């Protein structure tokens, strides 16, 4: 066991090996808030006769996240009631990292052949129900050998996990050298991103950021304002992040299109971080959405929280545009989980006389629109284009005072 104190961070790290048999590793404490990170290495072997399991379980015995090595040559991650499959090669070592954000109720996972070059596997909603635990206390394996298992626990103050640990020394040095020469306002933006993006998104951002001659990275790049154009801020989750670049391009020369420095999550995250996202300069237009993350929580707090967000944004004096939540279908019931949050949000926006951008209807009018999904929540490029066009059209209407 080794204790690490890194800026704003105290984590506990456990490095062990688990043999290919039924095994249990208990965490030093039950984790129900903060960011829990687990990384390990597995070998797919030459033949898999039966399913081999990795389970992160809670003290109630229910699972938070599961991973399986399957006879059909796939590795599957199960989170939020959905499986996420990747095709695996035989006799190959795979490095896997799983992060559970109990505050945002998200599961973030990445996989790769090189521990320093992991690729995003999924960014899923952690949906609690009778079969899913709301805390984590142990790791259980069945027939699966884990090598170099590392567990990083949040400290009692729920501090943020180290955003640098999955980056190589060269990547870190290149990035720090790059931002050291930036003007003060751009340097401050980089500092905010380091605080807000967290250990899942920040490494992805950094690797895009340091690519030579790359001026468009992750949607979170610094926007140098044209003083003759209105300033626009987009606030939202990974759906809005997916269409940030496309919408920005559609409105090039029309607005200074900024994005909040985070994957904004539920309304509770908005209430906590809104002052940081709004920054120091005034906004002419604020485009915002909170819905998918809230639909996975108790809906009772959503109306009050959303109204508080609206009150905060109205106090800025900016024109407001609410973006309706795109449909997410429950794999068991087939019901649209976004319907209820949209009904609540519609009534709140009507009460506050806030215009809406109905991207939910825009995507649903596409023939066979369910084929546009990548994972039941996020969209392929064609779907992203539909969303971007719908949002850009609504922004243009606001600019024209329609």
In a domain, residue 90? The reply is: yes
In a domain, residue 285? The reply is: yes
Whether 227 and 363 map to the same domain: the answer is: yes
Whether 231 and 174 map to the same domain: the answer is: no
Closest CA to 199 of 104, 64, 66, 294: 104
Whether 200 and 170 map to the same domain: the answer is: yes
Whether 312 and 370 map to the same domain: the answer is: yes
Closest CA to 40 of 147, 152, 138: 147
Closest CA to 42 of 64, 14, 75: 75
In a domain, residue 2? The reply is: no
From the number of C-beta atoms within 10 Å of its C-beta (0-12, 13-18, 19+), residue 99 rates as buried
pLDDT tens for the chain, 402 residues long, are 333 333 323 333 334 444 445 677 878 677 888 889 999 999 998 887 888 899 998 866 788 899 999 999 899 998 866 788 999 999 999 999 999 988 888 888 999 999 888 888 887 777 766 667 888 888 988 888 899 999 988 764 444 457 888 899 999 889 988 888 888 789 889 888 988 888 888 999 999 999 988 777 678 999 999 999 999 999 999 999 999 999 999 999 999 999 999 999 999 999 999 999 999 899 999 999 999 988 877 789 999 999 999 999 999 999 999 999 999 987 778 788 899 999 999 999 999 999 999 999 999 999 999 999 988 888 999 999 999 999 999 999 999 985
Whether 169 and 233 map to the same domain: the answer is: no
The pLDDT of residue 63 is 87
Whether 172 and 258 map to the same domain: the answer is: no
Whether 57 and 198 map to the same domain: the answer is: no
Whether 377 and 292 map to the same domain: the answer is: yes
Domain that holds residue 340: 223-399
**Number of structural domains, the chain?**
3
The pLDDT of residue 341 is 94
Say if CB 104 and CB 296 are below 8 A apart: no
Whether 187 and 239 map to the same domain: the answer is: no
Whether 84 and 205 map to the same domain: the answer is: no
């Amino acid at each position: 066991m080794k204790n690490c104190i890194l800026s704003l961070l105290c984590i506990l790290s456990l490095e062990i090996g688990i043999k290919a048999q039924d095994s249990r590793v208990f965490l030093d404490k039950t984790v129900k808030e903060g960011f829990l990170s687990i990384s390990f290495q597995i070998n797919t072997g030459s033949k898999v006769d039966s399913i081999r399991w990795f389970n992160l379980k809670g003290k109630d015995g229910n699972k938070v996240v599961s991973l399986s090595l399957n006879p059909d040559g796939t590795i599957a991650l199960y989170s939020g009631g959905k499986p996420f499959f990747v095709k695996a090669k035989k006799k190959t070592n795979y490095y896997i990292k799983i992060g559970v954000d109990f505050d945002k109720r998200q599961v973030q996972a990445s996989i790769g052949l090189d521990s320093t070059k992991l690729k995003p596997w999924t960014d899923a909603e952690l949906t609690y129900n009778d079969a899913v635990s709301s805390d984590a206390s142990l790791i259980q394996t069945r027939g699966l050998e884990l090598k170099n298992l590392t567990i990083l626990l949040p400290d009692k103050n729920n501090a943020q996990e180290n955003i640098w640990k999955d980056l190589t020394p060269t990547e870190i040095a290149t990035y720090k050298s790059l931002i050291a020469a930036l003007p003060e306002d751009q340097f401050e933006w980089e500092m905010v991103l380091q605080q807000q993006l967290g250990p899942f998104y920040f490494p992805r951002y950094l690797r895009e950021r340091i690519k030579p001659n790359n001026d468009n990275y992750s949607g979170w790049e610094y926007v140098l304002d044209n003083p003759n154009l209105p300033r626009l801020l987009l606030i939202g989750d990974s759906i809005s992040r997916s269409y940030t670049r496309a919408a920005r391009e559609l409105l090039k020369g029309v607005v200074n299109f900024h994005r909040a420095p985070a994957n904004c999550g539920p309304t509770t995250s908005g209430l906590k971080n809104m002052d940081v996202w709004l920054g120091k300069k005034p906004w002419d237009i604020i485009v915002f959405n909170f819905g998918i993350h809230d639909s996975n929580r108790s809906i009772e707090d959503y109306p009050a929280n959303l109204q508080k967000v609206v009150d905060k944004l109205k106090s800025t004096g900016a024109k407001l545009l609410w973006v309706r939540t795109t449909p997410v279908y429950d794999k068991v019931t087939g019901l649209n989980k976004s319907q209820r949050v949209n009904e609540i949000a519609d009534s709140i926006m009507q009460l506050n006389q806030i215009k809406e951008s109905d991207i939910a209807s825009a995507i649903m009018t596409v023939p066979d629109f369910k084929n546009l999904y990548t994972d039941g929540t996020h969209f392929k490029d064609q779907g992203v284009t539909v969303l971007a066009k719908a949002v850009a059209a609504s922004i243009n209407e606001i600019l024209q005072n329609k």
